[in-house]
Amino acid sequence: MDKKLIREKFHKENYKFCKNYDSFKAILKILSSYKTNKKLNILLYISKEKEINLYQYKRFLAKKYNLYIPKMLEDNTLAFTKLRFPLVYKKFKIKESLSKIENIKIDIAIIPVLGIDKDFRRIGFGKGFYDKTFSLIYYDLLIIFIQNIKSVTKNKICLKSDIQGDFYIANGKIMKRKEKL
């Protein structure tokens, strides 16, 4: 199966019954194993209709973490802004904050996916915003992919330029990449 077929399948399937709470618990399990003395900077996303909604847990997460969300730029990359109100609809019907762009180091990124391939590379929505942005980050960060229905191919169908994750959460279940590739 290739990326195009996976994207088509995603848009045809009924994903209304997202396992938000189970996925949130899985994220907490991963976060609790990440030991540090500082308050971590976490990149979340504002969910669209068929994605896991983590936004509903923002108050709980904000007690322990600095929360940021992506902001789309004209060059098809992302910048990071504090998760603050108001949120407004922008390109592709995605909500963004009106907060100013901050030049911060993200420690953990939680990113929605349509699936992953054999190498734990992201099958996204086809615009490449995350791939372009993360190719410009030259430090290690933990990347968690998340979706509501498991979609893992047994083949390498992604490009080297597609983001590679450390964890993959689907249906509240966690898969960990065995090694850096």
Residue among 21, 16, 23, 30 at smallest CA distance from 112: 23
Residue in the structure block whose two tokens are 């600095």: 66
What is the value of pTM for the model shown?
0.89
- pLDDT score recorded for residue 31: 94
Average pLDDT across the chain, whole number: 89
- pLDDT of 166 higher than 80: yes
The model's pLDDT over 80-96, given as tens digits with 9 standing for 90+, comes to: 999 998 999 998 889 99
At 181 the pLDDT is 43
pLDDT at position 21 = 87
Listed residue (151, 127, 125) closest to 1, CA to CA = 151
Q: pLDDT for 119-132, tens place per residue?
A: 999 999 888 999 99
- What is d(CA 34, CA 145) in angstroms, rounded to the nearest whole number? 16
Confidence of residue 75 (pLDDT cuts 50, 70, 90): very high
Going through 7-52 in order, the beta strands assigned E by DSSP cover 41-43
Domains in the chain: boundaries: 3-176
The CATH architecture that domain 3-176 belongs to is 3-Layer(aba) Sandwich (3.40)
